[in-house]
A and B are shown apart, each in its own frame.
Chain A
Amino acid sequence: MTSDADNPIVLDVRAMRVAVRTDHGDGPVLVDDVSLQLRRGEVIGLIGESGAGKSTIGLAAMGYTRRNCFIVGGEILFAGSDLRAMSLEQRRALRGLKLSYIAQSAAASFNPAMTLMDQVCEAPIRHGVMGRAEAEAAAVQLFRELDLPNPETIGSRYPHQVSGGQLQRVMAAMAMIGKPEVIVFDEPTTALDVTTQVECLAAFRRLIREHRAAALYITHDLAVVAQIADRIMVLRRGKMVEFGEARRILQEPQDAYTRRLVRERIASLAFVARPESAVPLLEVDGVTAHYAGKPKVIDDVSLTIHRGDTVAVVGESGSGKSTLARVVTGLLTRASGDVRFDGASLAPRLKDRSRDQLRRIQMIYQMPDVALNPQQTLLDVIGRPVAFYFKKTRAGVRARVLELLRQMDLPENFIDRKTSELSGGQKQRVSIARALAAEPDLIICDEVTSALDQLVGEEILRLLKRLQDELGIGYMFITHDLGTVKRIANKVVVMLRGRTVAGGDTASVFAPPYHPYTELLLSSVPEMRPDWLDGVLARRSARASA
């Protein structure tokens, strides 16, 4: 890092407090006494779980707060002047030009009715610092620096005509075009596939270095922040837990919470092998399926799950993982091939299956918020399968629900609460309890941890593992997170564009020689080493030139 004298502080946040204030009175304090100093060319990573106040800090650093939130204390000095003391017009003149922001969902941040070029050039033209031609030239230059395909012409496209990773990079171009002094990256790669994430991370980092911008990089993934940040601030419930050099935080975390974050990332669960029965639990045999009038989504897919197996189905979004689950459950009718459960062929359509067949295959979803009816109590949600499949009395249902709550480590007095009153992790436990209430042989887990915070997700994985060891259930584990796969699955099927490209025991699939796509996936999973990204990029360019 450069010395203080020739590189003054551009952003100086001092003892900032942000709190909720509504008509009904004061709400909770979201950010409590956070201070940081940012110089040019420096990146500070803000890390923490949801509710830690990361995004609130990122926005407040630009002098902005969400509805009903207010900066109630401290100073935010940008180039020496306090953003809080400025008028609305003064702040607006800075935003989009000197202070810029890159949001998590690029798709939601672009106007679908305007071309990319119009949107990228809007801020400098509106602020009157560049002419149209000058702005377009600068945009093309940025597109080139960001490794976008066809940098000269991509600007004439509309947002839906480019991929998610490309759109995220276009957004970076939009943020960079005014030559900002401070950029706030708010989880810019979280919604992307791992393989796309690598490209974006590399592009962002090069851009920050070349333009010597100061950046706040917000993420929940320690491995991502390790690649890009010079210093890391760990946050929890709006308070700073630990702040220091990236390398030190990752290698010698001082605080107990940081240590847990770092440790869980590396942990692994041991698989308990079971003797394989002669008849597999689920056999998917050469299945092809498509939505009405559309091309095939999955093509000739086969896999086998035995009792007590955890078979991970991995692949990027759009690879057909979830469609496979829909075919197995019967929500989508297969076009050809066969799905056999416990030796017997399952009817292609859901309504042609027997109640007992439905009972034996259960499903757990990605988003616990929409997987549970918000108006129902835990008794309704978990008790319904008990009453529906086993025809128990009211007292019998209640007793069984209490037993399941205990098994999920949920307090028994939750039984009469509505599901909307629970946290994300608790909801996911209720989803698992609902699946278990049917006493299934197979549970399809569709990205069950990806919507949860890291530590909460770990707890859910442990719970699933424990239940499998106790009950011998088979899991079909759909995920894009290879880290999760390595920890929980004993078999893996890798999917690419609707086909399976690799399959077998986890150990053999993830050991050389790999299928090229498996290797791409594996090498794209961020690791905690700060030089990981450099290594990946070096290896890839070496191979490309060879």
Chain B
Amino acid sequence: MRLFGHKLSVLAQIGLAVIALNLVMAIFAPLIAPYDQTTVLGDAWADPDAQHWLGLDNLGRDLLSRLIFGARMSIGLALVITALSFFIGIVSGFAAAVAGGWVDQALSRFVDLLLSMPTLIFAFVILSVLGSGLPVLIVTIAVLDSTKVFRLARSVAVGLVSLEFVEAARLRGEGWWWIITREILPNAIPPLTAEFGLRFCFTFLFIAALSFLGLGVQPPDADWGSMVKDYRDMINFGYAAPIYPAAAIAILTIGVNFVVDWMLSIHSRGQGEGA
């Protein structure tokens, strides 16, 4: 199997399989899940049986169905947030590199300011003031995350801007949007793709952490982080309920990291010279 013109390592193949499985689960949740995620079906903490493979949860809802719907919420949210943070980070980072001078200084110092505050505390304050609705959650995390993307995008672009094909475009009289989208972006894709995988994991864990603390996804919607929070006490009574969402988080994170490691390794190996 090949991707980006390179042979996939065994770990990368496992990682891709995990991601694909999770994506299918997220996209087709209503078709796959045996029950609705919010319907109460029986006693709380009913043991697993033929109808309910993982048993029922604290309110008597089907655990497997909540796990599947949780994938949809957790993954979908993380994807939207990461995509948004990449858009903000890449555009501002590239603009800083291409424009240079005071634009670069202003953007970089603003990012330093944001980075100097602990992310979780910052998110806490904003979510407490503005409420933890989904749009607020998405924008807050995306903006906070974009600072890290900005730093990477800027440093990659600074290296590319000094190359002569960018100078040639400037001499031609091209505007900065052309230079960013046509000259720089295509050459920055490999490091940025790898970063996307990593940041997706961090975002995903961050949402889980926020949900666990009660500021993330709000009930009755299922997401893996809040499921761990809701079920955590039951581990003391010998129930496996909190293990499932926690394992789901771990497996997806590891899977994505397998793929990212492989991408970084092909990137560091270089593309090789043309014939």
Chain A residues close to B by CB (< 8 Å) = 24, 329-331, 350, 353, 355, 358, 361-363, 365, 367, 369-376, 380, 384-385, 388-389, 419-423, 434, 438
Contacts and interface: CB of A to CB of B under 8 A. Distances in A.
B233 interface: no
Contacts of B164: 365, 367, 370-371
B81 to A, nearest CB: 28
Contacts, number: 58
B138 to A, nearest CB: 31
Given A365-B164, A420-B271, A421-B274, A350 B170 contact: yes
A361 B241 CA distance: 71
A376 B182 CA distance: 9
Interface string B111-155: 000000000000000000000000000000000000000000000
Contacts of A374: 187, 271
Q: Place the interface of chain B in its size category.
A: 10 to 19
A384 B165 CA distance: 12
Q: Is the interface of B mostly helix, strand, loop or mixed?
A: helix
B171 A350 contact: yes
B168 A371 contact: yes
Given A363-B168, A421-B274, A423-B274, A373 B7 contact: no
B104 interface: no
A358 B174 CA distance: 10
B36 interface: no
Given A358-B173, A373-B187, A421 B167 contact: no
A438 B187 contact: no
B275 interface: yes
B109 interface: no
Interface string B170-192: 11111000000011001100000
16 contacts: A24-B7, A331-B167, A350-B170, A350-B171, A358-B172, A365-B164, A365-B168, A367-B164, A374-B187, A376-B182, A388-B173, A389-B172, A420-B271, A423-B274, A434-B168, A438-B172
A420 B171 contact: no
B1 interface: no
Interface centre among A330, A363, A373, A423 (most CB of B within 10 A): A373
Contact of B186 (A375, A385, A389): A375
A373 B274 contact: no
A385 B172 contact: yes
Contacts of A372: 165
B165 A373 contact: yes
Given A375-B187, A376-B186, A423-B275, A370 B165 contact: yes
B183 A358 contact: no
Given A373-B183, A420-B274, A422-B275, 12 more contacts: A350-B170, A355-B173, A358-B172, A362-B171, A370-B164, A372-B165, A376-B182, A376-B186, A388-B173, A423-B275, A434-B168, A438-B172
A436 to B, nearest CB: 13
Across the A-B interface, give the 3 residue pairs with the lowest CB-CB distance, nearest first. Answer: A375-B186, A371-B164, A421-B274
B163 interface: yes
Nearest to B272: A420
A375 B5 CA distance: 14
A438 B174 CA distance: 13
Contacts of B271: 374, 420
A336 to B, nearest CB: 23
A353 B170 CA distance: 12
B94 to A, nearest CB: 15
B171 A388 contact: no
Nearest to A419: B274
A120 to B, nearest CB: 33
A373 B174 CA distance: 15
Given A24-B7, A331-B167, A373 B173 contact: no
Contacts of A371: 164-165, 168
A225 to B, nearest CB: 26
A361 B163 CA distance: 19
B275 A421 contact: yes
Contacts of B171: 329-331, 350, 358, 361-363
Interface in B252-275: 271, 273-275
Contact of A373 (B170, B172, B186): B186
B274 A422 contact: yes
Contact of A331 (B7, B170, B182): B170
Nearest to A426: B274
A350 B176 CA distance: 14
A388 B172 contact: yes
Contacts of B167: 331
A423 B186 CA distance: 21
A392 to B, nearest CB: 15
Contacts of B273: 369, 420
A363 B164 CA distance: 10
Contacts of B274: 419-423
A491 B76 CA distance: 67
**Which one of B167, B170, B172, B275 has the highest number of Cβ atoms from chain A below 10 Å of its Cβ?**
B172
Contacts of B168: 363, 365, 371, 434
B170 A388 contact: no
A421 B273 CA distance: 8
Interface string B33-70: 00000000000000000000000000000000000000
Contacts of B7: 24
Contacts of A380: 182
Contacts of A420: 271, 273-274
A371 B273 CA distance: 14
A331 B168 CA distance: 10
A513 B186 CA distance: 55
Contacts of A389: 172
A411 B174 CA distance: 28
A353 B172 CA distance: 11
Nearest to A24: B7
A362 B186 CA distance: 24
Contact of B172 (A367, A369, A384): A384
B266 to A, nearest CB: 12
Nearest to A444: B171
Contacts of B186: 373, 375-376
Contacts of B172: 358, 384-385, 388-389, 438
A3 to B, nearest CB: 46
A370 B174 contact: no
A109 to B, nearest CB: 21
A446 to B, nearest CB: 9
Contacts of B170: 331, 350
Nearest to B173: A358
Contacts of A373: 165, 182-183, 186-187
A331 B171 CA distance: 8
Most A-side CB within 10 Å, residue of B182, B187, B274: B274
Contacts of A369: 273
A173 B172 CA distance: 48
A372 B167 CA distance: 10
Nearest to B166: A373
A179 B236 CA distance: 75
A377 to B, nearest CB: 11
